[in-house]
Structure formats: C-alpha cells, structure tokens
Structure 1
Amino acid sequence: MNSLVRRLLDQSADAADVQISYDEARALARHDDPDVRRSLAGHPDTVPEILYYLAEDPDPRVRRAVIANGQTPPLAHLLLAHDSDADVRGDLAAKIARLAPGLTEHEQDRVRQSTMEALQALTRDQIPRVRQVLSEALKDVANAPPNVIRQLARDVEVAVAAPVLEYSPVLTDEDLLEIIAASPVSAKLTAISRRRQVTEAVSDAIADTEDDAAIAALLGNTSAQIREETLDRLIEQAPEHPGWQEPLVRRPSLSTGAAVRLARFVADNLILVLQSRADLPPETAREVARVVHRRLGEPRRQDDGTPDRPDGQPTAPVTWRRPSPQSSERARSMAERDQLTEKVVADAIVAADEDFVTAALAVLADLPAPVVSAILRSGSPQGMVAVAWKAGLTPSTAVQLQAQVGRVAPLDLLRPGLNGKFALKKGEMTWQIDLFRRAVADAAAAGAGEG
C-alpha cells in the first residue's frame, strides 16, 4: 500500500499508469492524508461508487477533484450542488453548464434528472458568484435549458442576469418584453439593448422606459431594428440627452428628415461626423450643410428669446470687423522680424485688444482677417480653439482666447485634455476653419459683415 501511495502522489508519473484495484481504492478513500484522497479523486480509473463517497470528503480540495473527474456520477453532482464551500459549488456550476446542454431526451432519465436537479439547485445558490459562473458558461449556448436561462435572466444580481440577457439565444421576445415590463435596473435594460438581434417590439419597449443608458446602447447597436416613428421620437428628445447624440448621428440608414433634425442641435464635432457619412444621399448631405450654415449664423438666445452672447451683449449672425490698417501692418511687420510670438498674442488677449489679436491670428494662421474676426465674434469655443491651433498657439492660450476675447462662459470653455493637447481633434479643427470660411463667404455674398 505504501508503494501505491508513493506512486499515486508522484507528480512526475502518469496517473493512468497507476493501477488501483477496487479494494485499494476503498482503503485509499479513508487515508489520513488529504493529498492521497485528492489524487484518488482525480484518478481516471476511480470508480463512480468511490467518487460518490469522496464527494462528502471533509477537505474541499478533494471534493473539487471529484468534480473535475469525468467519471463522477450525476448523483454526486446533485450532492455537491448543496456543498458548504462556494468554490466547490462554483466548480460544479462550470462543469454542469458544460454537461447540461448535451443531455437530450434520449439520455437515461435518472442521469438527466439528477443533472437537471443539480443545475436548478445552482441557479438558486445563495452566493452570486456561483450563479454568475453558471450564467457566463450558459450565456451563448443555443440548447441550454430554457427554464434555467429564464431564471438566470431574472436574477436580482446584475452580474448574474446581464450575460444571458445580452447573449442568450434561448430568450424569446416574450421573455424579454416581460423582463422589461418588470422595470429592471438600468444595467439589465442596457444588456438587452446590446443583443445581437433586437426586434422592433423590444426596441419600442426599451424606448418607452426612457432609460438614458439603455436607449444610448440601443441606438449604438447597429443590428437593432428601430421603427422610424420610434427613432423620430428619440431624436425629438435627444437635445436633453447628450449621450444619445453620437449613436444617433452614426445610426445606419438615417432618413433625410432625421439627418436634418440632428444637424440642428448636435455638437459641432458630431456635425462633422454627420457630414462625413458616405451613405447620405447627395440631397440629404446638401440639406445638412444648409442647416449647418444657418445654425452657425444663429446667435445664442436669452430666456426671453432675444439674441445674446455669453457676456450679455447682443451680436449679429456671422459678422466680422476688419482689423485697422495699423494693427494689420504691425502684425505683418512683427512676423517678418520673428517678433510675433505667442507671448505677444497672449498679452493682447489679456488686454482684450480684439483688433490686434484678430490681425495677429490672421497672419500666424495665414487666414483672411474676416474669417478670424467672425470666429472671435461668434462666441464659438470650437472655432476659437481651431484658430488658435491653426496659428500655432498652445492649448492654454486657446483657453485664454475663449475667455478673454470670446467671453465664453467658464462652463463652456474647451480646456486641454489630461494629456495637455487640444480639446478637439485635428480633423474637427480643420472643419471648423472651413465652416467659418464658407459662412463668411456666404454672408459676404448676401451683403452682411462690417467694415
């Protein structure tokens, strides 16, 4: 027996080469050393009767070895489903999840019934981690037991319910609609919104919840089917829900009406995304461009509807003032002598000398002075960041430009990111410059502007 124990515990030996008789296995199952019993529990030739006995071993490592053994009988699984150790039950959950989908109606009734009973016990486990293991293992199994999947989908723990809610092909529309109607937490609704296929009925139900995160996920799910009426309703509400706006402008197959309505209120960087979409019909793209030009010329409004700049001073749409000849000549002369530095511009910004700032930026950015003036007088943080970048200024000076010359409210300032770089991407800033170029040209053709 001692020789057998040594061979059983020898980590370098192949377990299959260690032959164990039934009588020897019975003796080893009662051995004082738990490592011996664990090795026996993991041996491929250990008979089911011995494994069932070891399923009640006091050492949890032995019981986990029993679970890992492919010869373990289903009745032992049922016993282990009520084990006192959560790790043991977690291992069993992973194993049972692999076994259960393969059990057909043709399996021996007793085998199938024992496995299913163990599975049901694990879905009711008091430890969420055990149920989560089960959910993760069964989430994308097409022939998983429907009653088990439905129970997991209704679990109070998000970590348990979310995997099957997002991935399980077993859940029907009726199941999903019933779960949505029960008003689950936002994370569960969001999981449903991310499913590979979301039907119009489920989309309608998600939209009716008015859950911000779930609807954003739904809009971002390109495979979700959303009725045009539902999409129109969400677009109407989108100005109050910034998180919906980006998935909306990226939504495939946008109608002309939807694209134009979005162009009226989404952030400037999202208009860039909208205008850059290759799938928009030419007429839709032209209409979006017209809306953008009109929008650029609209001043901010006070509560009573009157035009207003951030400092409370009224302004006209798309207007500019050419810098004085003296400021323009000074800026050109200083640039020729390499004296038009960022410090010079920053000092002029602090002094709120819009005339010289306009002339200096026009020279440094190689832009027409009316375009620079229109940007500064528009109160557009995006436009001022763009012209500062084009002029070779730093992000911190761009913030000064917004605050001192553009008089942008503190909460509206576009500040550098954590990496110290400009708040906008290069493509967005280039687009801003081009946008003001076109707006100034259109306004000039219509006779607008100043001096």
Structure 2
Amino acid sequence: MTENLTSSDIQKLLNDPTPENRAEAAKMVSGHFNSGGLSDSERKIAEDIFKIMVRDAEERVRLALSVSLKENPDVPHDVAVSLANDVVGVAAPMLQFSEVLTDEDLKEIVKSQGVDSQMAIAQRQSLSADLTDTIVENSDNEDVIATLVSNEGADLQEATMGKVMDKYGEVAAVSDSLATRKQLPINVAERLVSLVSDKIRDHLVTHHEMTPDMVTDLFLSARERATVSLLGDGADVMDVRRLVDQLHANGRLTETLIFRAICMGDLVFFEAALAKVCNIPVSNAYKLIHDRGSLGLAAIYREGNLSPEMLPIVQAALDVAKDMETSASEDRDRFQQRMLERMLTNCEDEFDPDNLDYFITKLGSKKDSDEAA
C-alpha cells in the first residue's frame, strides 16, 4: 500500500459529511485493496471500511464501491451480497461481474429482485446450467430471456431450451437468439424449424395471392427439407430417436419426411421412424428393413399403412444407403446424385431427376388422395 491507513485516516474518511468525498474515499480504499499490496492488518481495515460504506445513505458512495470492487475475487462475501441486493444502479456491476457471488446468491436475487437485476445476471460471462434454468423459470421478461439465450457463456441444457421454446417460442427476439447459438440439440433445432415454417405459411396466406393448399404444400416441403438437413453425419443415435418421438408426437413424422431421410442416406432416422409408425421396437424394425429378401420391408410398410407403390423407390434408396455405409469418402451431394440415378432407373416414367421436391410432393399428394377416397 502506498500509504498506510491510520486511525485518523479512517475517522476522516468516515466522518467527512461531503458525499463526493466519501465516494472518492470508497474509490481510494478500493484501489488499495485491488492492488494486492496490503498487509493482513491493512486488508482487515479496508474490509471494515467496506462493511461500513455499504450502509452509507448516499447511493453514489455505494455505487463507487460496487464499480471499484466488481471484479475483485477477494471481496468479503457479505460485502458483495450487500451490494448485489442494493438498488439496481448499485447492484448491477456486482451482479454482472462479481465472481464472489455464488449460484445460490444469484438464484435468490433472480427470484426476489426485478427485471434489471435479472438482466445484469443474464449478461454474466458464464452462467451455470442451474442458474440459467432458474432465470428461465422465474423471469417473465422477453428481453431478459433473449439476452440470456444469446449469451454463449450461459450453459443452456436441452430441457431449459425446451422451456424457453414453450414460454417464448413465438417471440422473434428470443427464437432468433436461440437459433444463432453455436450448438443446438437436434430436438430444439427441429422445433425452431417448425416454428419458422409456420410463420412463413401464415405470411404467405395473408400477404400473397396463394391458396391455403398451395401454401401448405410449399411450407411442408420447406420444413421437411430443413428437418432432414438437421440429421448431419455422426448424429447421436439417441438424439435421432428423440427427434423421431418429438416429430411423431406433434404430427410431423410424415411419410414424405421419412422418404426424404432415406433419400439422404439417413438410415438411423429411417429405422427409428418406421419403428415408431409401426409401434414396434427399433431392433425389430431394423431386422425387417434389412431383410435380405423383399418380405421384411413390404411387411413394415403394410403395418405402418404406408404407400406400397413407394416400395421399389424406397428399396432403391435403401440399397444406395447401404452401399454408402461402406464408402466413408462419399459426401451427401455424391450420395444424392447416385440416389437420383437409381430412382430414375426404378421409376423413369414419372420421376424428374432435376426436381426431387416436386416428385416427393407428388407422392405425398397421391397418398392424401388415396386416403380421402
């Protein structure tokens, strides 16, 4: 410490009635404390001064203390807690930056304080999964949640993201912030895809001269393409199965989506999806799908009430997908090219290889017509 704090110094600092001088004193003592050069006795004196200053009637004094000590990890815990529970102007620096505050301290403040305090906490450099979940559970402010989900330092678990979608999925600021996170669980990504597609559909109906049927075909095609694109190489098997469960529960596990998946070589999704529509274990579906003969796949299509006329095309796609598994060097573009060539061979009378979306939509429409009849 450049100058020792004596008893007379302390009396002068505490008794000077001018708020400006007391604020300057708070900065001075904090500066010495932050320098790390205090002896044990001097540190004790400084801490005693802090404990008195946090009760100063003048807000600017407490604010000077909060700003000066916000990033010091050695601040006494009771001092940090007192400042963090002060009026928001004083509390915000400590709430956003102080590492002295524990998760329990912060969770209690989230529950008991207002929006401004929640916002400051949501901007912390890092937030644990437990703290993040507490904010989502207790905040009713869209800006707080949008700030939280845009903070890559916040540990957002899949269950918490689900709560965000449940409460604020329709709020653009929140869903957009969630969509731009570096990593998203596949189930959350699918919900975002569906949400965006719904918005596009509503906009097209209201702002353009398109019939609801035309818009529905367009929107389903776009949604299914986006959903299949989520199934990147190396996707976790359990994540894919949870995605299938979610799609099925929400009526989005369509035959055309299943077909799109196998067209892209996603065997794991294809197997899980057929197991779901037939209500059988995945292991059973696997054996039926990969039957060396033609009976297994045909049986599973009958059980799932799927279109029998698609069987030759699906079998062709399945054969290519199996071939691709043995060739790790093949990418999706090459796979789809081979898939289109095989489909052209199997259904050359009605298949346009340059327009897979039209072909799939045509198959879906045909199935709808057959069911209506």
Partner of 2:214: 317
Q: Following the alignment from structure 1 to structure 2, what is the Cα–Cα distance between the partners of residues 295 and 72?
A: 65
Q: Following the alignment from structure 1 to structure 2, what is the Cα–Cα distance between the partners of residues 446 and 173?
A: 51
CA contact (8 A) 2:123 2:151 kept: yes
Deviations 1:415-446 (A, max 9, x none): xxxxxxxxxxxxxxxxxxxxxxxxx9945985
State the shift of 1:312 in Å. Answer: 10
Q: Following the alignment from structure 1 to structure 2, what is the Cα–Cα distance between the partners of residues 179 and 311?
A: 48
Distance 1:104 1:72, change over 3 A: closer
State the shift of 1:217 in Å. Answer: 1.6
- 1:353-432 matches, within 5 Å, as none
Partner of 1:58: none
Q: Following the alignment from structure 1 to structure 2, what is the Cα–Cα distance between the partners of residues 250 and 310?
A: 27
CA contact (8 A) 1:299 1:316 kept: no
State the shift of 1:216 in Å. Answer: 1.5
Partner of 2:104: 174
Deviations 1:198-244 (A, max 9, x none): 11111111011133222222111111112211111212333332221
Q: Secondary structure at the match of 1:84?
A: coil
Q: Following the alignment from structure 2 to structure 1, what is the Cα–Cα distance between the partners of residues 114 and 24?
A: 29
Partner of 2:76: 145
CA contact (8 A) 1:94 1:133 kept: yes
Deviations 1:382-409 (A, max 9, x none): xxxxxxxxxxxxxxxxxxxxxxxxxxxx
State the shift of 1:130 in Å. Answer: 1.6
Partner of 1:159: 89
Q: Following the alignment from structure 2 to structure 1, what is the Cα–Cα distance between the partners of residues 215 and 137?
A: 40
Query: Looking at CA atoms only, which structure, 1 or 2, has the larger radius of gyration?
Result: 1
Are residue 204 (structure 1) and residue 204 (structure 2) matched?
no
Partner of 1:388: none
Of 2, 21, 39, 1:88 maps to 21
Of 163, 173, 182, 1:233 maps to 163
State the shift of 1:94 in Å. Answer: 0.5
Distance 1:103 1:314, change over 3 A: closer
Are residue 190 (structure 1) and residue 119 (structure 2) matched?
yes
Partner of 1:77: 10
CA contact (8 A) 1:216 1:243 kept: yes
Q: Following the alignment from structure 1 to structure 2, what is the Cα–Cα distance between the partners of residues 248 and 299?
A: 21
- 1:41-80 matches, within 5 Å, as 70=3, 73-80=6-13
Q: Following the alignment from structure 2 to structure 1, what is the Cα–Cα distance between the partners of residues 18 and 38?
A: 32
Amino acid of the residue matched to residue 120 of structure 2? A
CA contact (8 A) 2:109 2:117 kept: no
TM-score (norm 1): 0.44
Are residue 120 (structure 1) and residue 80 (structure 2) matched?
no
- Number of aligned residue pairs: give it: 226
Are residue 216 (structure 1) and residue 149 (structure 2) matched?
no
Are residue 100 (structure 1) and residue 100 (structure 2) matched?
no
State the shift of 1:97 in Å. Answer: 1.1
CA contact (8 A) 2:158 2:188 kept: no
Deviations 1:141-198 (A, max 9, x none): 1112222111101102x1210111111111111211222232x111111111111221
Amino acid of the residue matched to residue 204 of structure 1? D
State the shift of 1:104 in Å. Answer: 9.4
Q: Secondary structure at the match of 1:164?
A: helix
Q: Following the alignment from structure 1 to structure 2, what is the Cα–Cα distance between the partners of residues 126 and 119?
A: 14
Amino acid of the residue matched to residue 21 of structure 2? V
Amino acid of the residue matched to residue 166 of structure 1? Q
Distance 1:208 1:318, change over 3 A: closer
Of 252, 255, 275, 2:182 maps to 252
Q: Following the alignment from structure 2 to structure 1, what is the Cα–Cα distance between the partners of residues 116 and 130?
A: 20
Partner of 2:302: none
CA contact (8 A) 1:186 1:213 kept: no
Partner of 1:136: 67
Distance 1:106 1:238, change over 3 A: same
Q: Following the alignment from structure 1 to structure 2, what is the Cα–Cα distance between the partners of residues 116 and 314?
A: 72
Deviations 1:53-92 (A, max 9, x none): xxxxxxxxxxxxxxx9835535413432232111101110
Task: Determine which structure has the larger helix proportion and give its number.
Answer: 2
Superposed CA RMSD: 3.5
TM-score (norm 2): 0.53
Distance 1:89 1:295, change over 3 A: closer
- Which runs of no fewer than 5 residues in structure 2 stay unpaired? 217-354, 366-373
Distance 1:442 1:263, change over 3 A: same
Q: Following the alignment from structure 2 to structure 1, what is the Cα–Cα distance between the partners of residues 47 and 360?
A: 78
Q: Secondary structure at the match of 1:81?
A: helix
Q: Following the alignment from structure 2 to structure 1, what is the Cα–Cα distance between the partners of residues 146 and 169?
A: 13
Distance 1:86 1:316, change over 3 A: same
Distance 1:192 1:295, change over 3 A: closer
Distance 1:115 1:79, change over 3 A: farther
Amino acid of the residue matched to residue 229 of structure 1? A
Amino acid of the residue matched to residue 131 of structure 1? R
- Percentage of matched positions with identical amino acids: 26
